[in-house]
Amino acid sequence: MGGIGKTTLAKLVYKDKRVKEHFDLQAWVCVSDEFDVLRVTKTLILEEVGLSTNADKNLNLLQFTLQDKLMGKKFLLVLDDEWYEDKAKCEVLSNPLKSGVQGSIVIVTTRNEGAASIMRTVPTHQLKKLGEENCWSLFAKHAFHDYNSNECTELEVIGRQNCEKV
């Protein structure tokens, strides 16, 4: 389901100081739209880990360069909003990632169970919708700030109706 917080949760983990201290390299890649191994490897991953690609269009050379950069390092890679289900392309993308040391992590956010299962080495974690009361509590906290929602009963009714629809 869109808007449930997959990217937000991944960002919280990615930006956490304790997480940053745990890894030698971190990269965030928004995959979305059309999946192209060359584009993801070159434009996103290599640039995210601080390598210049010099407009190279040779996937093998780019993958060797990435493999060399990751060799012996513990890395965190987030592949955000992934949709592809092509196992062969996934294997090509993941080959250079195997040069990282044990403890390296790839987090994949997706709405597509098929896409998640291709990269999966551990069970997937499905985010669930908030319950109605938790949804209301979160909504009220942001909508009313320091005010008591009971002082605005008309607005509370509207807010609760919106929380029922979520």
Find the angle CA(159)-CA(3)-CA(139) to the nearest 5 degrees.
25
pLDDT digits (tens, 9 = 90+) for 115-159: 666 766 666 777 777 778 887 887 787 777 756 666 677 777 888
Q: pTM of this prediction?
A: 0.73
Specify the pLDDT at position 87: 77
Specify the pLDDT at position 149: 60
Statement to judge: residues 38 and 106 lie in one domain: yes
Specify the pLDDT at position 115: 67
Statement to judge: residues 39 and 84 lie in one domain: yes
Which residues of the chain, if any, have pLDDT below 50? none
- Kindly give, in sequence order, each residue whose CB lies less than 8 Å from that of residue 64, ignoring residues fewer than 6 positions away: 96
Domain range for 159: 132-165
Whether 152 is covered by a domain: the verdict is yes
Nearest one of 49, 52, 47 to 73, comparing CA atoms:
49
Burial of 148: CB neighbours in 10 Å, binned 0-12, 13-18, 19+: exposed
Specify the pLDDT at position 17: 92
